[in-house]
Structure 1
Amino acid sequence: MTLAPTPPAPAPAWRTPFENDPAGNTTATYTECISYYQKLAAAYPAYLHLAEAGPTDAGRPLHEVVLSSAVSFSLPSKESPDGKLKLTARKPVLFIQNGIHPGEPEGIDASMMLARDLMQQPRLRKLLEAVTVVIVPVYNIDGMLNRNSTTRVNQNGPVAYGFRGNARHLDLNRDYIKQESRNAQSFAALFQKWQPDVFVETHTSNGADYQYTMTLIATQHSKLAPALGTFLQGQLLPALYQGMEKKKWPMTPYVDFEGQTPESGLRAFLESPRYSTGYAALFNTIGFMPETHMLKAFAPRVHATYDFLLTMLETVGQQAPALAAARTLAAADMAAQTTFPLAWALDETQHETVQFRGYEGRMKPSDVSGQPRLYYDRTAPFTRPVQYFNTFKPTATAGRPTAYIIPKAWTEVADILRRNGATLEPLTHEVTAPVETYYFEDFKTTPKPFEGHYVHSQVRLQTRPETTTFLPGDLVVYLNDAAPIRYLMETLEPQATDSFFAWGFFDSVLQQKEHFSDYVFEDLAADLLRRDPKLRERLEKLKQDNAAFAANGPAQLEWVYQSSAYHEPGHNRYPVARWLGVGKLGE
């Protein structure tokens, strides 16, 4: 279906705050936005449903807006006494989330306009016969209420806007996996409820200057299941680029150069699960972050976002059978998959070529420092081929266990897993079983806090087979076909980029709780070495191989302690065990 790029002007009563500003430089306030959707819900109850979807750190509820055709959509009724929305048939679900960074508000205003037009224009409403649309009008309500005109110092409008951080000063686009904010917790429940086929989160870019109003981050195809990666690259992305070109909004992949200019080549964005699209990929959902360019005026940024969302809706409807087939195949492949990648790096041996529309980067003296500074010369536009590095390769993998066993004490971890679709089965009796246990040998930690955490990386593990006794109430999560397998692997394997260990959820095991007094343990250590010749041989070998160690008496005493039964077994021991058995644990 080909749609006109410019919709008819709405009646004055239905114009948004953005549309009521002749300069097109106004974004809706939080109250104006929610009031607008309430007005739509009251006027079009057969097609649009507005509901509260959980709390946020701001103390205001997260909202969901559901748009669907009259054929498949019904409001709460006697047939749904729980008051929940009922959809009578499964169609592709397009999930649109706005305002995660409220200083980047284009999606907030564009979605208000799109929801209205889907209600008021019959030719657009027909699109809802093929796709269900779910909109989160504002995700970071906290930040939207913190309205100002200064924090987006590089951005060209609007006049006033929200703040990037939420009420706890968290960047919510780093909170999708750890889910510390109430916003993220409510989102996770909403995401699991809908299990969308396509997820879109609207943004505004920073960085270089270029001719495009719209740039695009798509889920990294290398990280998707092969069927979804092939569908994304071969069908969905080409249609989106062509559709936007027809609407007079040429797009480019998100602009991230190794240097400051295109000569270094475009680098694809690697979205680990802390980000929205990385999180969505764990559940075989294709994600997109449309990023309008900060230096373009606000009005064209809003209109480009509107047209992108409309193009996405059109395309998902047109490609619904292929999308469904790709997701079905991806789920089947994941159910059979035995080894999972956990970390990735850019493959610089592979690239494609894109025609990039930029401006020449030049140097001139800084008026501040007098030193050379970069600027982009808008009198010198160009279109030239640029290398685009868009392939990633795994740098860490792990085999899939039958189940993970989580001691019942780790309630925070258990709560997050349940919120994201995992089923945790408590043991009803004591069970002794052979398992794989990780011990931490080394890792790196950020020197400064990031989003409230000192994040770990470059984790090096020792895997030991152990026979362990588990207690009633300890939790077993099976990686069966019904489980969110990839999500479990990337949160519970410590070496994964955004694992719960990486975010510090298990830091208490890294601290030794008991130790020794040197002058007492000296005699005990000497006796240990006399009674255990092999232990003595290992110590002497270490001294021969390492002169610094040989000259360090306290280090040798510590080594003997850690090699003895006196060293506490829980120190540096990952508390989540991997069970590789068959069937049910304890049966």
Structure 2
Amino acid sequence: MRHYLLTIFFFLAMDTSAQLTPYELSEKKETATYHQVIDYYKKLDEAYPQAKLLTCGQTDFGKPLHLLVLAKDKIFDPAQIRKNDKRILLINNGIHPGEPEGIDASMMVARDLLKGNLLPENVVICIIPVYNIDGSFNRTSTSRANQNGPVAYGFRGNSKNYDLNRDFIKTDSNNSYSFQEIFNTWQPEIFVDTHTSNGADYQYVMTLIPTQKDKLHPVLSSYLTNSMLPSLYSKMANAGYEMTPYVNSIEETPDEGIIGFLETPRYSTGYAALHNTIGFMPETHMLKEYDKRVDATYQLLKIYLDIVVRDAKVIGENKRKADEDARRQESFVMEWKLDKSKFDLIEFKGYAAKQKPSEVSGMQRLYYDRNAPYTKQIKQWNNFVPAGMVDRPIAYIIPQAWSRVIELLKLNRAMVYELTEDISLPVESYYISDYKTLTKPFEGHYLHSGVKLDTIYERRNFYKGDCVVYSDQPVSRYIMETLEPQATDSFFNWNFFDSVLGMKEHFSAYVFEDAAAELLKKDPQLKAKLEGEKIKNAELKKNPEAQLDFIYKNSDYYEKTHNRYPVARLTTDIKLMLK
């Protein structure tokens, strides 16, 4: 009897511990610590067979990245889930641990779904409890100077001081690598990454960044714009939390209008879009009370689930069509720009922006008067148009030396083949003719932009073990936007190939003078080219060293690999011996 009572007591205690989260036990003033979050999910795993807490790779902090999977039928194999034609909703929390609403809201959502036996038949929910584990341990109450609670919270940077929401292409962190393993294993149709905003003051608790509609496959864009977003806005209003698009003001205040957020692939939702996954960054307002921010996030997560359950069939069909069309797509956009000629008028509930003397400087300063709320129409610029297009090649050939590039392609489900013999092939080669580089590092990199290319058709030697990546794949957009150097977040722009930008050989002028003179005698075209360049460039005419350098770089002495982008484009359908 005593053993029986102890057993009953154990299960009652376990059930009680699963009832209230640390956030709720703190009277909704504190966010859970990392250990509290994982312990809570472990207890859900123990108490409910429909919940499974997985460990999925390492982080920079030396702790594993966890994934809680909620499945009504207790099937936790992603391949079988896809075979059973179920949708997968992936929720990511704590990428910025100082913005912890999603951490606390997800714990309550998971509990309520399990305890109420409310898990849907046709959708599996995957929750990353805390993504930036590193930053969650760097816990203070001051790192977000403008934020209203909770009592203490984590830090934006991880243990390498990376902002992990800039790391989804360059993958400098183990966190990013493990996330991509999760993403490509589970292949979610809908992805949500929870955040808290900074910026202007206004009446809304919740704002929303969806995947930029113009970047998506048309069938995904149409569903997002015409069905999912209207439902999200309507249902959130009914839940007591009217939403507005993320307040990305064109001027200092939103009165003059807002601009749609263009999330490039460095961001989580931009990365998701490369895989034809519709993504969202909900952004609660940092000045609203923490309990309201958590509740708004809780309501929104439940509404996402309701919509995915309702539209499971069409969401699945849309994703399959987008993936299949990606195989056949001939041209891809590498860069986007805002179309400033088009805007919409949207209703916006803000506070009057006013000026008053600063108690610090004595000069005029901005403040928002919460005693002067307004509702009015403002402009929203949210149309983006292509700024650069590229036709896809038949395949890319990547010399095996560039192993990091090959590794990330494989991680993202690109089929990568290896040459089984040495071969000489006619290919398109890019030569980097110009680019801009930041003067200060951004997220650990001197990021390139404004890349200009010269395309040369040439025969190049490739070797057994070099890799071939055909472009007609469901993940062709990931392949194109990482391997085309002019793409905004290409591997080239993130400095993966910087070593090719430096020359390894040169000449001694006093020796090369005689060789240069001989070259000009033997090659009238080279001489004419030099004379023409001197006419166009007065500085060259006055600089003997520069003239020698010009001759050198237009001769066989000049190394062919300088500024040559290592990845070649195969544009002719040639049968290759591959494994």
- Confirm whether residue 95 of structure 1 aligns to residue 86 of structure 2: no
Deviations 1:67-120 (A, max 9, x none): 1113xx2369xxxxxxx9954722111000000000000000000000000001
Written as runs of structure 1 = structure 2, the 5 A alignment for 1:247-326 is 247-326=239-318
The amino acid across from 1:28 in the alignment is A
**What is the Cα deviation at residue 13 of structure 1?**
5.4
CA distance in 1, matches of 2:483, 2:223: 29
Q: Which residue of 2 aligns with 1:530?
A: 521
Moved more, 286-295 or 326-335: 326-335
Q: CA deviation at 1:326?
A: 1.9
1:67 corresponds to: 70
Q: Unpaired segments of 5 or more residues in structure 1?
A: 1-9, 77-83
Q: Is the 8 A contact 1:200 1:287 kept in 2?
A: yes
Please give the secondary structure, in 1, of the residue aligned with 2:250: coil
In structure 2, the CA distance between the partners of 1:407 and 1:508, relative to structure 1 (3 Å rule), is same
Superposed displacement of residue 41, structure 1:
0.5
- Alpha-carbon distance in 2 for matches of 1:58, 1:426: 35
Partner Cα distance (1:585, 1:478) in 2: 12
Q: Does 1:167 align with 2:159?
A: yes
Code of the residue aligned with 1:532 in structure 2: it is: D
TM-score scaled to structure 2, two decimals?
0.95
**Contact 2:355 / 2:365 at 8 angstroms: preserved in 1?**
yes
SS of 1:74's equivalent? coil
Paired residues, number: 563
Aligned to 1:33: 37
Q: Which residue of 2 aligns with 1:194?
A: 186
Hey, what's the Cα distance between the residues in 2 that align with 1:33 and 1:584?
54
Q: In structure 2, give the amino acid aligned to 1:313.
A: L
Deviation of the 1:121 alpha carbon: 1.3
Structure 2 CA distance for partners of 1:362 and 1:75, relative to 1, 3 Å: closer
Task: Quote the Cα distance in structure 2 between the aligned partners of 1:25 and 1:555.
Answer: 68
Cα distance change on mapping 1:371 and 1:429 into 2, 3 Å: same
Residue 55 (structure 1) aligned with residue 58 (structure 2): yes
2:442 aligns with 450
CA distance in structure 1 between the aligned counterparts of 2:537 and 2:401, rounded to whole angstroms = 41
**Alignment-mate amino acid for residue 477 of structure 2:** R
1 CA distance for matches of 2:481 and 2:131?
24
State how 1:119-138 maps to structure 2 within 5 Å.
Answer: 119-122=114-117, 124-125=118-119, 128-138=120-130
Contact 2:345 2:379 (8 Å CA) reproduced: yes
Question: Which digits, 9 at most, give the CA deviation of each residue in 1:279-310, with x for residues without a partner?
Answer: 00001000000000000111100000000000
Give SS of 1:14's match.
coil
2:570 corresponds to 1:570: no
Q: Aligned partners of 2:405 and 2:79: how far apart in 1?
A: 30
What letter is aligned with 2:230? P
Aligned position for 1:156: 148
* Preserved CA contact (<8 Å) 1:431 1:586: no
User: Which runs of 5 or more structure 2 residues have no equivalent in the other structure?
Assistant: 1-14
Give the match for residue 109 of structure 2. Answer: 114
Alpha-carbon separation, structure 2, partners of 1:505 and 1:494: 10
Q: Distance in 2 between matches of 1:368 and 1:585?
A: 71
How far off its partner does 1:328 sit? 2.4
Report the equivalent of 1:19. 24
What's the CA shift for 1:494? 0.2
Counterpart secondary structure, 2:85:
coil
One-letter identity of the residue aligned with 1:185 = Y
Cα contact 1:74–1:85 (8 A) shared by 2:
no
Deviation of residue 325 (structure 1)? 2.3
Return the alpha-carbon distance in structure 2 between the equivalents of residues 170 and 262 of structure 1. 30
Is residue 469 of structure 1 aligned with residue 472 of structure 2? no
For 1:81, the equivalent position in structure 2 comes to none
Amino acid at match of 2:358: S
Q: What is the letter of the counterpart of residue 20 of structure 1?
A: L
1:217 matched to 2:172? The reply is no
Q: Offset of 1:193 from its aligned partner?
A: 0.6
CA distance in structure 2 between the aligned counterparts of 1:107 and 1:214, rounded to whole angstroms: 12
Q: CA RMSD in A?
A: 1.5
Alpha-carbon separation, structure 2, partners of 1:228 and 1:539: 54
Pairwise CA distance, 1:509: 0.2
Contact 1:66–1:134, Cα closer than 8 Å, also in 2:
yes
Structure 2 Cα separation of the partners of residues 140 and 85 of structure 1: 27
Give secondary structure in 2 for the equivalent of 1:438.
strand
Note the C-alpha offset of 1:557: 1.6
Find the aligned partners of 2:495 and 2:201 in 1 and give their Cα distance.
37
- Please report how far the alpha carbon of residue 526 of structure 1 lies from its aligned counterpart in structure 2 after TM superposition: 1.5
For the residue of structure 2 that corresponds to 1:104, the secondary structure is: coil
Inter-partner Cα distance in structure 1 for 2:219 and 2:432: 35
Q: Displacement, 1:498? A: 0.3
SS in 2 for 1:222: helix
Superposed structure 1 runs of 4+ greater than 3 Å apart: 10-13, 84-88
Secondary structure at the aligned position of 2:142 is classed as: coil
1:351 match? 343
Question: How far off is 1:426 after superposition?
Answer: 1.1
1:451, 1:187 → 2: CA distance? 18
Matched, 1:494 2:497: no
CA distance in 1, matches of 2:295, 2:379: 29
Q: Which residue of 2 aligns with 1:580?
A: 571
**1:584–1:211 Cα change, 3 Å:** farther
- Tell me what 1:521 maps to: 512
Aligned counterpart in structure 1 of residue 544 of structure 2, from 539, 553, 563? 553
State how far apart, in whole Å, the 1-side matches of 2:458 and 2:43 are.
Answer: 62
2: CA distance, partners of 1:332 / 1:44: 37
Instruction: Give the 3 Å change call, closer, same or farther, for CA 554–264 of structure 1 in structure 2.
Output: farther
Please state how far the C-alpha of 1:549 moved relative to its aligned partner: 2.3
- What are the Cα deviations for residues 534-560 of structure 1, in whole angstroms up to 9, with x where unaligned? 111111111112222222222222111
Q: Which residue in the other structure is 1:366 paired with?
A: 358
Deviation at 1:584, TM superposition (A): 3.7
Mean Cα deviation higher: 328-337 or 147-156: 328-337
The SS at the match of 1:530 is: helix
SS at match of 1:302: helix
The answer for the alignment partner of 1:4 in structure 2 is none
Match of residue 401 from structure 1: 393
Instruction: Rate the CA distance shift 1:85–1:520 in 2: closer, same or farther, 3 A.
Output: closer
Residue 4 of structure 2 aligns with which residue?
A: none
> Whole-Å Cα distance in 1 between the matches of residues 230 and 261 of structure 2?
18
Q: 1:193 aligns to what SS in structure 2?
A: helix
Q: Which residue of 2 aligns with 1:375?
A: 367
